[in-house]
Structure 1
Amino acid sequence: MTDDVCVLLPTYDEAATVADVVTDFREHGFEDVLVIDGGSTDDTREHARDAGARVEVQSGSGKGQAIREAVREHVTANYVLMADADGTYRASDADAMLEPLRSGTAEHVIGDRFADMHEDAMTGLNRIGNRIFNGLFSIIHREDYGDILSGYRAFTVDSFRRLRLSSDGFGIETELAVECARHGVRTSVVPITYLPRPDGSNTNLHPVRDGGIILMAIYRQAKTSNPLFYFGSAGAVSGFAGAFIAAYVAYDWFVNGISHNVLALVAGVGIILGVQLLIFGVLSDLVVTLHGETLDRVEALEREFDPAEAADSRSGNADVPDDSEGQDRADPPEQ
């Protein structure tokens, strides 16, 4: 059954591959294929329509904005299967991606490209960068999602709407992973096959620029997920820099008799700032931990509380005797 699934394909200048991708999903039984286009300058939209896709042009720019707009305004299905339109993902993996959603074991599914990655599918630099980002994410956010930068996702519309997403560009995959970890969205990782881009298809990814965006997205989100790491790492940099400058000042003073008053002041400020940031990180981490425990207790109470009883209590009808019985007891029988 695929009537409850919308295949979402964000595109920008994917004329060389989009028709094959749309056809692949439709041949696997997915009738609702939505292409959300970011203003392509080639024939992407025309090829997508000819292949049988629904095509919408996004009002803004960037992959993140396209996904948010598509789910908010153009998706009516319960489940979304999101993939790139560059021919690197296979529709034959779709059933495995959707199974955790339909079985109720997950609300968000990430396709792990490293489970079966073809040799030429990713450059060595990109492989190293992906491993670093995944390791850093696991340390900061205390979740191991295997491949947080994967563009092959499946999720329920309800779970997507619970997430606070603001990224417009390629940082959207990282932000999805961070928000799932932060909001406790049940997430599964499914092995998939990752193929090389077909000949004639050019990537829109810029490794250095987009790598920096992804790195900053992971680090920026740590201030609420892992404040000890966020403030502690900044404090460590400041403290070590101050200590290094202080060591140089002390050496020059004792060995050469040269004083560096300004550098000594800078060193002192750096060390003090580092200590303060570390203390602030410890306190913030304590607050986040207590907040999480409080939320867990509230959710436990909500699960124990009967919604029917809550409705009766709010309406003022709980444990109220029948009016007719009360009337019989209050009024003596007529003589």
Structure 2
Amino acid sequence: MTDRIAVLIPCYNEEITIAKVVDDFKRSLPEAAIYVYDNNSTDATAEIARAHGAIVKREPRQGKGNVVRQMFRDIEADYYLMVDGDDTYPAEAARELLAPLIAGEADMTVGDRLSNGSYGEENDRAFHGFGNDLVRWLIKFIYGYAFDDVMTGYRAFNRTFVKTMPVLSSGFQIETELSIHAVDKRWRIVDVPIEYRDRPEGSESKLSTFEDGAKVLMAIASLFRESKPFAFFGWIAFVFFALGLIVGVPVVLEFFQTGLVPKFPSTVLATGLVSCGALAITAGAILDTVAKSHRKMWELEVYRVQQESMHKHA
């Protein structure tokens, strides 16, 4: 591999594992530059990483999404491999993740912990598997693409993907955002099965199952609204129309039978609900036009970045 490869390791209080992670990737990818971004650690993460040969930078804005945003802005490479600093992902799989990118067969590869069952065997934290399945189902339902593992922290990207990825998340929603961006923008995605291992004793996860899970669901809703506004507001309109019919149909039937409208409050409520549905449809149609315009501009930016990368290698 003659192309430049950058290994990106966002870290917060990983002094127990970071030395092994850096050493493993230096051994598996000796040609790669290894970057550790320290996110306000209160332990010796940065010092240990630097002592083991990593390029250490600091990101003062707390949250994994903030770290990834700055990494994507700062680092210039042809291929990027992103991995957590908790020693749960095997460095030995790095070349398998990079191979489809280098062959021009993928724009993003995903380290899949689920299909071979290793995540279920190693991870004993309640509801993590359920949360991953729920997010996978939502993405499949909304976008029609079935990820094998949507929440994995082990991924690889080519330069065009990284330099045209608008990172909006601040925290652990970043994995979901990367997945939805890849599907919505029709990037080529390849799932690569990997052997997951749980954190070593003394190393603690920073992920809050319920708090971060709620943030992930909110991120999915927000990205759905932005990327597919007509479908998003169409569902809202459907709910309003359905409620309007439930309330209004008895009023209409009674009017045809008696010629009277005795349930005036129900009439007003039904009219209001149907009007809200019509407004939702109108908002969706307008925002859909805006979204398509933004998509065209983004496609042109992709062309520009690709041409820039080609000129670098010419």
Question: Which bin holds the TM-score, normalised by the shorter protein?
Answer: 0.7 to 0.9
> What TM-score do the two structures reach when normalised by structure 2?
0.80
2:256 corresponds to which residue? none
Kindly, what percent of the aligned residue pairs are identical?
A: 33
1:175-216 Cα shifts (integer Å, max 9, x gaps): 212222333322222112222121111111111111111111
Q: CA deviation at 1:122?
A: 5.0
Higher mean Cα deviation, 114-123 or 92-101?
A: 114-123
| Distance change (3 Å), C-alpha of 1:83 and 1:274 | same
2:272 match: 269
Q: Report how far residue 151 of structure 1 moved.
A: 0.9
* 1:47 partnered with 2:48: yes
Does residue 63 (structure 1) correspond to residue 64 (structure 2)? The answer is yes
Instruction: Give the deviation of 1:102 after TM superposition.
Output: 0.6
CA separation in 2, counterparts of 1:17 and 1:90? Answer: 13
Q: Which amino acid aligns with 1:109?
A: T
Asked whether the 8 Å contact 1:83–1:153 carries over to 2, the reply is: yes
Match of 2:13 in 1: 13
- Does the alignment pair 1:145 with 2:147? yes
Structure 1 distance, partners of 2:266, 2:87, is 56
- Measure the CA separation in 2 of the matches of 1:236 and 1:157: 41
| CA distance, structure 2, for counterparts of residue 104 and residue 46 of structure 1 | 37
Secondary structure of 1:221 counterpart: helix
Task: Kindly state the Cα deviation for residue 13 of structure 1 after the two structures are TM-superposed.
Answer: 1.0
State the partner residue of 1:210: 212
- What does residue 137 of structure 2 align with? 135
Cα RMSD after superposing both structures: 3.4
Q: Does residue 123 of structure 1 match 2:125? A: yes
Instruction: Map 1:211-290; keep pairs closer than 5 Å.
Output: 211-242=213-244, 265-278=268-281, 281=284, 283=285
Aligned to 1:36: 37
Letter matched to residue 57 of structure 2: E
Letter in 1 for 2:272: V
Counterparts of residues 279-318 of structure 1 (less than 5 Å): 281=284, 283=285
Partner amino acid, structure 1, of 2:132: N
Q: Contact 2:122/2:196 (CA < 8 Å) preserved in 1?
A: no
Could you say which residue in structure 2 is the equivalent of 1:106? 106
Cα distance in 1, alignment partners of residues 88 and 52 from structure 2: 18
- CA 1:138 to 1:291, structure 2 compared with 1: closer, same or farther past 3 Å? farther
The one-letter amino acid paired with 1:58 is: E
TM (normalized to structure 1)? Answer: 0.75
> SS where residue 10 of structure 2 aligns?
strand
Greater relative contact order (Cα 8 A, min sep 6): structure 1 or 2?
2
Distance 1:45 1:261, change over 3 A: farther
Q: What pairs with 1:191-206 in structure 2 (closer than 5 Å)?
A: 191-206=193-208
1:195 match: secondary structure: coil
2:172 corresponds to? 170
| Conserved? CA contact 2:3–2:78, under 8 Å | no
Q: CA deviation at 1:45?
A: 0.9
Aligned-partner SS, 2:112: strand
Q: Deviations over 1:204-248 (max 9, x none)?
A: 111111111111111111224333431122223434455566699
Deviation string 1:110-161 (CA, Å, 9 cap, x unpaired) is 1112123241325341111111111111221233333222111101122211
SS in 1 for 2:8: strand
- The one-letter code sitting in structure 2 at the alignment partner of 1:12 is Y
- Can you give the 5+ residue segments of structure 2 that lack an aligned partner in the other structure? 253-261, 308-314
1:312 counterpart residue number: none
Query: Judging changes above 3 Å, is the alpha-carbon distance between structure 1 residues 129 and 249 closer, same or farther for their aligned structure 2 residues?
Result: farther
Distance 1:243 1:205, change over 3 A: farther
| Greater CA drift, 90-99 or 104-113 | 104-113
Gap change, CA 1:122 and 1:248, over 3 Å in 2: farther
The 2-side partners of 1:161 and 1:143 are apart by 23
Report if aligned partners of 2:107, 2:161 keep a CA contact under 8 Å in 1.
yes
- Partners of 2:152 and 2:203 in 1: CA distance: 19
Cα contact 2:61–2:67 (8 A) shared by 1? yes
1:3–1:106 CA distance, 2 compared to 1 (3 A)? closer
CA distance in 2, matches of 1:237, 1:142: 22
Q: Does 1:189 align with 2:194?
A: no
Deviations 1:300-320 (CA, angstroms, capped at 9, x unpaired): xx9xxxx9xxxxxxxxxxxxx
Match of 1:78 in 2: 78
Alpha-carbon deviations, 1:77-127, whole Å to 9, x = none?
211100011111000111110001110111211111212324132534111
Q: Distance in 2 between matches of 1:47 and 1:155?
A: 27
